[in-house]
Chain A
C-alpha cells in the first residue's frame, strides 16, 4: 500500500505501482461507463498549488479530484500572494490552516514537494505534480498505464517491454520518473540524447544509454519523445534546433524504423517540427491524446489511494460507491 505522500516514482514498489494502475483501470471502467462522479472524497479538500504554469497538468488533477467529489481549490502563483514573494512555508501554513487534506504541488525547484511533506508545515498528503528537473511521478504512472493498454496486446504486463526515451534527459523530470517506474515494472528502458543532455552519472541508472536514435528505434515497443526547450539552445547543449531535429527528431522516415505495433508517446506540449514531426504527431501510432485521458484516471487512483483509504476489495467498493453516487 502506498504511503501518505506521492513524492517520487522511485518510492513506489512494483506492488504499489501495479495497485495504482489497476485502481486507475477500475476507476476508468466505472467513470467511463455511466457514473461520472464517485463520492469517495466528499468533504475532503484538495489544493492544486502551482508555482509554474501548467494548465494541462493542473486541470487533469482538478478533474480527477472533482470526479471523486473532493472540494478543489486552485492556488496558482500568478494572481496570488506568491507573485508578491510569499514563501513556500507561509503558503503551506495557510493551506494547512484552511484544512487542506492534500496538496498537489508543481514547483520549479527540485525537491520542493519533499520539503513540503517533511518540514512539518502541513499534515496533509503531498502529491508531486512535477518538481524542477527532478520527478513527475503521475506522468510516469499515466505513461505506464498507457503502455499497459497497448503493448503485449493490453495484458498489462510490462516485463521486458522495450521503451526508448528520447530528448533532454538532463532537464527532464518525466524521464527520471519514467526510468524509475518503468524499470520497477520490469520494462527495459533506453534513454537517447546527445551526450550534453545526459545527466552526470547516468551510467549507474537502471537503463541503457544511446546517442543514436536510429540504433534504438528498430527494437522498441514504444518511444517517448521529450519536449526540447528553446532556452537549451543558449546553453550550448546543441548547435541549433535544426541539427537537433535532424539527429534526434522523430519524423515519418524514422517512424518506419520502428516495429509495426510500436507506439509513440509524448508528455506534451509538443514542439511540432522539432522533436516530433506533424506527420508523426497526427499518426495513429501517436497516443498523445489518449495519454491525456489516461492521466485523469491515474490521478484519480492516486488521490483515491492516498486519501480514500484502501478498501478490502477495490473492485467491490468501487462498484458499490458507483451505485451510491
Chain B
C-alpha cells in the first residue's frame, strides 16, 4: 500500500502538522511541509479526528435492501466521516445467529469502506422470549460484543437480567432500547400538550425512564455493563446521572436529531419527523445537550434508519419510524456544540470515536492521532458549508429531516486503515 501524507492537518483542531501514514498505521507526525509519502493530501486548515465510530446504525441488509444495503450504508458512513459502524440486528432474517452476523460482517469487509460490526439480537427473532445464541455470535468471526433488540425493548426483567449476566463471559454489553411496551401501545409522538391537541397517541417520557431506572439497578446488581440507546428525555438524563454518581456500570448515547429537533415539527403531520424514540420538547433537548457536555451521556450515535420513500410518503400513523443520520451527524454536532465553543474537537473525538469504540469493544478504532495508531482518520473542513440535499445522499433512502438545512463544515477526506475512502468529499 502506498504511503500517504495529510499535509498541514490540525489534529483535534490544534497545531498543524503533517501526518504520515504507511500501511495501516500512522508512522510519524512531522512539522508542516516535511512529511514525505507517495500520496500527499492537502488538509490545510482542516481538523483531523480519529475516524468516527457509530454504535447505532441500521444497514437493512439482509432483507430490506430497497432501503439500504451494506454497500450503500458503508458509502454513506464513509462520506459522513465514519470508519466503523455497528449494524443493528433488526434485519430479515434477524441477526440472532452466528450465520447471519458472519454474513453481515463479511459483506462489510468486502465493501471495504468502514468496519461493519454486527450487533447481535438479545432474544431469538427480537421476540423478547428467549435468549439468542449470544455466545455463538461472540465467538464467530464477526466477534460480536454489542447485543441489542433495538426497535424493541427487552422488557421482561428476568430476561434482561439473564442477558446482562450472560454477556459478561465475553465482555459484551447489552444496548437497551428503553421503551415500556404497555405504556406506548399505538404511540405516535411524544406525550405532551401537543399530542393531546393533535390527537396523536402519546409516548410518555416515563415509558423510557422507568425502563432505564430498572436496567441500571439490574446492571449494578449483577455487575454487568449496560448501554442505553438513544436517550431522549430530561428524566432519562437524571436517572443516568444518578446511576453514574453511584458508580453504576452504565453508558448512554444520544442521537443528533434528539439534540437538534423538537416535537413542534410533528404539527406538520409530515412523517419525515416520525422517529423512535419520538422528538421531544425543547426542555428535553436542552437537558440532553447539557448531559453531553457534562459527560452524563457518553456518545453520539446516529440511529441511521433508512426507509423507502413509500414508507414516509403517507399519513402519519401509517409511516415508518426513523431518519437518516450518517451523512449529517458530524455537521449537526459541529452546529450544536462546536461553532458556539460549548465543546472542543477533542470532546467531539471522544463522543463520536473514542468512547463508542471502547463501548463497542472495537480494537482498531478510536485510537489517538499519534505515531503507531491505526490510521483511521477523518479530515473535516471547518470553512465549508453543506446544504443537505436528499438526492445527493449516498444512502439508498431519502428520509432526512434536514433537507435544505445548511450545516457548518464538511467531511473532506477519510482514511480507513491507512487507505483513502473519501477524497475531496467523494468516495475515493
Contacts and interface: CB of A to CB of B under 8 A. Distances in A.
A202 B199 CA distance: 12
A132 B317 contact: yes
A119 B313 contact: yes
Given A87-B314, A88-B315, A110 B196 contact: no
A87 B201 CA distance: 22
Given A200-B192, A201-B193, A204-B193, A115 B199 contact: no
Contact of A176 (B194, B197, B310): B197
Contacts of B198: 110-111, 134
A105 to B, nearest CB: 10
B202 interface: yes
B314 A110 contact: no
Contacts of B236: none
B386 to A, nearest CB: 26
B199 A201 contact: no
Contact of B196 (A89, A131, A201): A201
B193 A109 contact: no
A107 B315 contact: yes
Contacts of A133: 199-201
B196 A202 contact: yes
Contacts of B317: 108-112, 132
B370 interface: no
A325 interface: no
B193 A114 contact: no
Interface residues of A, number: 27
Nearest to B309: A89
B268 interface: yes
A169 to B, nearest CB: 9
Interface in B313-345: 313-318
A196 B317 CA distance: 22
B318 A109 contact: yes
B314 A89 contact: yes
B313 A132 contact: no
A200 B191 contact: yes
B314 A111 contact: no
Name which of A87, A88, A109 has the most chain B CB atoms within 10 A of its CB.
A109
B269 interface: yes
B196 A200 contact: yes
Interface string A194-208: 000001111011000
20 contacts: A10-B197, A87-B310, A89-B310, A89-B313, A109-B315, A110-B198, A110-B269, A110-B316, A112-B315, A112-B316, A114-B268, A115-B269, A132-B317, A133-B201, A176-B199, A199-B195, A200-B191, A200-B204, A205-B196, A205-B197
Given A200-B191, A200-B204, A202-B196, 16 more contacts: A88-B314, A88-B315, A89-B313, A89-B314, A109-B318, A110-B316, A111-B198, A111-B315, A115-B315, A131-B199, A134-B199, A199-B195, A199-B196, A200-B196, A200-B202, A201-B196
Q: What 6 pairs across the A-B complex have the smallest Cβ distances?
A: A201-B193, A111-B269, A199-B196, A134-B199, A133-B199, A109-B317
Interface of B: 188, 191-202, 204, 268-270, 310, 313-318
Interface of A: 10, 87-89, 107-112, 114-115, 118-119, 131-135, 173, 176, 199-202, 204-205
